[in-house]
């Protein structure tokens, strides 16, 4: 599964307790973004739009360095996005992991990570997951989005997120 490790709550889905769609109504999400040339910000806007189409509310979309605290407080799910920095096929890492570590505590929140990249994200998502888990969040997954395929990848990401977050 390409760059994807959303942990699906298989048991509840198999048991059919949480049918998709109606149960997702009212899920509130905040997006926190680091972006240099705009790809990750654009990806965040696309993901937010897709989630809204599925009935989610977006409490805010803000830069990671100046996070909108109220939007985080109001959210059930926090999406943390940045871009891959490295030597393209070696040494890849999330840009500004320090800004992730400096975010407000996310105890009691579900969180999801994503990064945009050009060639190969390497272990970026794993490093992001550790940083976000360090804030106290329950990190339920993440996805690397190719900068040249943002439309398709953001759609897939949002669809999987809606499928995983079956209750809040
Ligand atoms: C200095 C620099 C280093 C980069 N290193 C990598 C890399 O190691 N691997 C990769 O896949 N993409 C790499 N990229 C590409 C970016 O991750 C990609 O363009 C991303 O979408 C940029 O996001 P932004 O527009 O939100 O800043 C690099 C870009 C820059 C500017």
pLDDT the model gives residue 4? 42
Q: Point out the ligand 1 atom lying closest to the alpha carbon of residue 43.
A: 26
Core vs surface per residue 63-100: b (16+ CB within 10 A) or e: ebeebbeebbeebbbbbbbbbbbbeeeeebbbbbbebb
pLDDT, one tens digit per residue, over 34-64 is: 999 999 999 999 999 999 999 999 999 999 9
pLDDT classification of 66: cutoffs 50, 70, 90: very high
17 alpha carbon to ligand 1 midpoint, in Å? 41
127 domain residue, yes or no:
no
Look up residue 4 and give its two tokens: 């994807």
Q: Quick: pLDDT tens for 73-128.
A: 999 999 999 999 999 889 999 999 999 999 999 999 999 999 999 999 999 999 99
State the residue range of the domain holding 105: 23-111+135-163
pLDDT at residue 10 above 60?
no
CATH of the domain at 37: 3.40.50.360
Q: Whose CA is nearest to atom 30 of ligand 1?
A: 85
Q: Which atom of ligand 1 is nearest to the CA of 41?
A: 26
- Around ligand 1, the residues with Cβ closer than 6 Å are 35-41, 83-88, 92, 116-121, 147
Q: Is residue 87 part of a domain?
A: yes
Give me ligand 1 centre to Cα 86, in Å. Answer: 7
pLDDT at 166: 72
Range 20-31 average pLDDT: 73
Q: Which residue has better confidence, 5 or 134?
A: 134
Residue 62 lies in a domain: yes
Separation of 103 CA from ligand 1 center, angstroms?
22
Closest Cα to atom 16, ligand 1: which residue?
Answer: 117
Reported for 40-45, long-range contacts at CB under 8 A and 24+ positions apart, including other chains, are 40/81, 40/82, 40/83, 40/115, 40/116, 42/150, 43/81, 43/114, 43/116, 43/145, 43/150, 43/153, 43/154, 44/79, 44/81
C-alpha closest to that of 92 among 125, 67, 66, 62 = 125
Find out whether 110 and 138 touch, Cβ atoms under 8 Å.
yes
Q: Which residue has the tokens 């992730």?
A: 100
User: What distance in Å separates the CA atoms of residue 23 and residue 9, rounded to the nearest whole number?
Assistant: 14
For 96: left if phi > 0, alpha if psi spans -120 to 50, otherwise beta; the answer is: left
Q: How far apart are CA 43 and CA 157, in angstroms?
A: 10
**What kind and span of H or E run contains 80?**
strand 77-85
**Confidence class for position 24, pLDDT limits 50, 70, 90:** low
- The count of structural domains within the chain is 1
Residue 8 lies in a domain: no
CA of 92 to the centre of ligand 1 (A): 9
Q: Looking at ligand 1, which atom is closest to the CA of residue 95?
A: 17
């Amino acid at each position: 599964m390409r760059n994807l490790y959303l942990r699906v709550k298989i048991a509840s889905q198999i048991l059919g307790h949480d049918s998709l769609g109606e149960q997702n109504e009212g899920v509130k999400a905040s997006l926190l973004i680091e972006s240099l040339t705009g790809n990750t910000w654009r990806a965040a806007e696309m993901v937010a739009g897709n989630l809204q189409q599925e009935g989610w509310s977006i409490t805010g979309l803000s830069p990671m360095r100046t996070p909108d605290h109220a939007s985080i407080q109001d959210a059930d799910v926090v999406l943390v996005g940045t871009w891959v920095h490295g030597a393209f096929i070696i040494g890849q890492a999330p840009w500004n992991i320090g800004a992730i570590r400096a975010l407000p505590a996310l105890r009691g929140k579900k969180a999801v990570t994503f990064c945009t990249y050009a060639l190969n994200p390497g272990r970026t998502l794993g490093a992001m997951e550790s940083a976000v888990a360090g804030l106290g969040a329950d990190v339920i997954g993440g996805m690397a989005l190719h900068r040249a395929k943002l439309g398709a990848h953001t759609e897939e990401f949002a669809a999987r997120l809606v499928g995983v977050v079956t209750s809040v």
